[in-house]
Structure 1
Amino acid sequence: MATISALLALCTACGSVTGNAESAGGSTGNTVPESSPVAHATTPGTTTGDTTVTPAPAPPAGLAVGALFSGDSHFCTASVIHSPAGNVVLTAAHCLSDGSGAEVREDLTFVPGYHDGAEPVGRWTVTETVIPAGWSSDSDPDLDFAFLIVHQDGNPASVESVAGANLLGHNRGFSHEVTVSGYPDSQDAPLVCHSTSSEFTTYQEQVACPGFTNGTSGGPWVTDVDPATGYGTVIGVIGGYQEGGDTADLSYSAYFDSDIQHLFDSIGSR
């Protein structure tokens, strides 16, 4: 069950709404349904026909992105961020709160690598939410990001140790080749889009990806992906302007600057 963090002067917690990642038109990137993240059994270093099988990264990189559930229904997307304790997950603030002093949504769980009903490393309970004060009080779209602290009952391991994690990036500029992932609330598998981000306003960025409708909010924008591991650096999440956009072809994100880094740093080793 989510608990509210009072974090410096920067963050408070409140509100509740479902995710929204319908966004406003433009040229499209290349979107494909993601294949199952569950690894097939192979023998490292063996050769089959013209294909050489090499050791896969462990844990599989596809597990770092997952679905955010309320009860039995997923409504937003989230992803694991590398942190000292390995318990931090990133999503959009509007997935947790509609701002203006409302309460934070409770009884949330995160399922890394969720795919067609499969939960490869189980469900992780959201035990704490970390939301910018500017979102909680004013629904500032330039602060539409939030962190979750998650744990699994009876399991001392961190979510990062079993699902892997991306790095958090800030002040990286606007133009990047990005991989955007999200779970439409009408589907049980994520969409994955490869596109290029660009500046929308001083504190907002945009990316053209078709099919990113309700439920994909909070989906990470990952750049500098290491081909050897599949992990990279998150520079945005679907949200921001119009809570992600009002058509399915163009999505937005608050620009990740020092505000998100300060919010992340306030978590410490939790």
Structure 2
Amino acid sequence: MALGQVRITIWAVVAVLLTSAAPSAASKGSSSSNVTIHRDSITHAADKYVREYWTADRIANIEHDPIAKEVAAIPADERARGAEFDGSAVLQSSIGRLFSTLVDEEDGSETDSSCTATLVTGKNKATIITAAHCMTNFGNVTFTKNNLWIPGFRDGAAPHGRFTVNTIVLSSLWEKGDFSRLSYDHAFLVLNPELDGRTAQQVLGKGQQVGFGRSLSPHRFQFGYPRYASQVPPNPPQSGLPAFVGERLAYCNGTMEHWISGQGLTGLSCAMGGGASGGPHIQDLDLKTGRGTIVAVNSLNDIAKVSGEDMDHLWGASVTDSSTERLFTIAEGIAPRLK
């Protein structure tokens, strides 16, 4: 398996940079002891701009697989590899679609895109976890713009509000790294309050727990808002369904595997593709309460054998180590305020 075959699970691997086109007060990131802290929407003007930027039409026009003309049921033996999640409302509301604008560093062109992020219980009641590459591609020192999180996103609706991003916290080893540092592909984002002044946790309740220091259990669920279905094997039954064009929450579940290229990445045979990046790997999930423990976040697609057949897998960077816990501690200690 060559690294060239690996697909980071946003729509493409692109360099991103922050421009000054929007009235944003985003600051250049500060870096200390392998931690980068980047200020994003920190003014009322920036918050307002981002909210107005993400219109229903703009969201609908983000690139995705062609929508299926007929919605067919996914065969029972294929559902573990990907299906719409229609269970716990608590779980659905804790996971959301994360919208961003990517800027090509070569020609300056902009592309709207999306990932997945999850609310985690924190002291500031305003912290979500996602993949670092959703905010900045490795090897770059610039970030996405127009970052907006919509928890429980479904069919274009925002049933629990819309939250702009105040601060991004990630490892400087990712920011300055390459494919050899995929284990650092995670980030914590501090959210601004909703328009009524409530934090994300005040709106949604407790978030999910992050399994710092926890050992991995054999079984897990992986969630995301994929805009594409993976194509190995080709033409999977998930292609074009609402949960695989970014409109609804999708999931995979099964027995955890280790990525052949190491770096601590683990995952499942899973048909979720681009857009699922940053989605949580949850173990010990109670489907009645909607609570579980996040042990990794979706990072990349790559092929592995299943019963001798090539199958796309969705691998995730671990978030259980002490260096990730340090990032979280910094993030949950930030009280978001707009100027």
Q: Same fold (TM over 0.5)?
A: yes
Q: Which sections of structure 2, spanning at least 5 residues, go unmatched?
A: 1-23, 39-61, 63-77, 102-110, 228-244, 304-310, 335-339
- What is the percent sequence identity of the aligned residues? 26
**Please, which of 229, 236, 249 is the counterpart of residue 190 of structure 1?**
249
Higher relative contact order, structure no. (Cα contacts within 8 Å, ≥ 6 residues apart): 1
1:143 aligns with 2:184: yes
1:193–1:4 Cα change, 3 Å: farther
Given that 2:131 and 2:186 are in contact with CA atoms closer than 8 Å, whether structure 1 keeps it comes out as: yes
In structure 1, distance between residues paired with 2:96 and 2:219:
21
**Please, which of 264, 278, 301 is the counterpart of residue 245 of structure 1?**
301
Deviation at 1:30, TM superposition (A): 4.4
In structure 2, distance between residues paired with 1:109 and 1:224:
29
Query: Equivalent residue of 2:176, what SS?
Result: helix
The Cα RMSD (Å) is: 2.8
Identify the residue that residue 70 of structure 1 maps to in structure 2: 100
Deviation sequence 1:193-212 (CA, Å, 0-9, x none): 12222333653232224321
1:220 aligns with 2:280: yes
1:202–1:269 Cα change, 3 Å: same
Which is richer in helix? 2
Query: Equivalent residue of 1:232, what SS?
Result: strand
Q: Normalising to structure 1: TM-score of the pair?
A: 0.77
- What is the identity, as a one-letter code, of the residue corresponding to 2:313? L
Given that 1:168 and 1:234 are in contact with CA atoms closer than 8 Å, whether structure 2 keeps it comes out as: yes
1:263–1:129 Cα change, 3 Å: same
**Please, which of 263, 270, 283 is the counterpart of residue 203 of structure 1?**
263
Given that 2:190 and 2:332 are in contact with CA atoms closer than 8 Å, whether structure 1 keeps it comes out as: no
Given that 1:115 and 1:190 are in contact with CA atoms closer than 8 Å, whether structure 2 keeps it comes out as: yes
In structure 1, distance between residues paired with 2:118 and 2:262:
25
Given that 2:222 and 2:279 are in contact with CA atoms closer than 8 Å, whether structure 1 keeps it comes out as: yes
Deviation at 1:31, TM superposition (A): 2.4
Q: Which sections of structure 1, spanning at least 5 residues, go unmatched?
A: 19-26, 40-59
1:218–1:212 Cα change, 3 Å: same
Query: Equivalent residue of 1:262, what SS?
Result: helix
Given that 1:168 and 1:235 are in contact with CA atoms closer than 8 Å, whether structure 2 keeps it comes out as: yes
**Please, which of 300, 303, 318 is the counterpart of residue 255 of structure 1?**
318
In structure 1, distance between residues paired with 2:317 and 2:119:
18
In structure 2, distance between residues paired with 1:154 and 1:122:
9
1:105 aligns with 2:168: no
**Please, which of 151, 160, 163 is the counterpart of residue 121 of structure 1?**
160
Given that 1:97 and 1:103 are in contact with CA atoms closer than 8 Å, whether structure 2 keeps it comes out as: yes
- What is the identity, as a one-letter code, of the residue corresponding to 2:159? P
Identify the residue that residue 11 of structure 1 maps to in structure 2: 35
Query: Equivalent residue of 1:235, what SS?
Result: strand
In structure 1, distance between residues paired with 2:28 and 2:132:
13
Given that 2:95 and 2:117 are in contact with CA atoms closer than 8 Å, whether structure 1 keeps it comes out as: yes
1:130–1:104 Cα change, 3 Å: same
Matches within 5 A, 1:14-53: 29-35=80-86
Q: Normalising to structure 2: TM-score of the pair?
A: 0.62
In structure 2, distance between residues paired with 1:119 and 1:266:
28
1:73–1:115 Cα change, 3 Å: farther
Given that 1:236 and 1:254 are in contact with CA atoms closer than 8 Å, whether structure 2 keeps it comes out as: yes
1:225–1:5 Cα change, 3 Å: farther
Greater shift in the superposed pair: 4-13 or 78-87: 4-13
1:28–1:252 Cα change, 3 Å: farther
Query: Equivalent residue of 2:327, what SS?
Result: helix
Deviation at 1:28, TM superposition (A): 8.6
Identify the residue that residue 168 of structure 1 maps to in structure 2: 210
**Please, which of 239, 258, 267 is the counterpart of residue 331 of structure 2?**
267
